Amino acid sequence: MLLGLAPWGILHAQTDEIQVYDAEIVAPGHFNLTLHNNFTPDGRRTADFAAGAAPNHMLNGVPEWAYGVAPWMEAGLYLPLYSYTAAGNLVFNGFKLRALLVAPDAAHRRFFYGVNFEFSYNATHWDPNRYTQEIRAIVGWHLGPFDIVVNPILDNSYKGISELDFAPATRIAYNINEIWAVATEEYDDFGALRRFYPTGKQPHQLFWVVDYKGPKTSIEGGIGIGLTGAADKAVLKLILSRDLN
pLDDT number for residue 9: 45
**Domains along the chain?**
4-243 (2.40.160.40)
SS3 for the chain, per residue?
CCCEECHHHCEECCCCCCCCCCCCCCCECCEEEEEEEEEEEECCCCCCCCCCCCCCCCEEEEEEEEEEEECCEEEEEEEEEEEECCCCCEEEEEEEEEEEEECCCHHHCCEEEEEEEEEEEECCCCCCCCEEEEEEEEEEEEECCEEEEEECEEEECCCCHHHCEECCEEEEEEECCCCEEEEEEEEECCEECCCCCCHHHCCEEEEEEEEEECCCEEEEEEEEEECCCCCCCEEEEEEEEEECC
Average pLDDT over residues 76-97: 96
pLDDT of 203-223, one tens digit each?
999 999 999 999 999 999 999
The answer to whether 86 touches 56, Cβ cutoff 8 Å, is yes
pTM for the model stands at 0.93
pLDDT number for residue 224: 98
Average pLDDT over residues 27-56: 92
pLDDT number for residue 46: 84
Comparing C-alpha atoms, which of 167, 160, 135, 138 is closest to residue 2? 167
The answer to whether 141 touches 147, Cβ cutoff 8 Å, is yes
Tell me the residue length of the chain. Answer: 245
The answer to whether 72 touches 104, Cβ cutoff 8 Å, is yes
> Average pLDDT, whole number, for the chain?
93
CA dihedral (17, 62, 231, 45) in degrees, to 10, reads 180
The pLDDT of residue 173 is above 90: yes
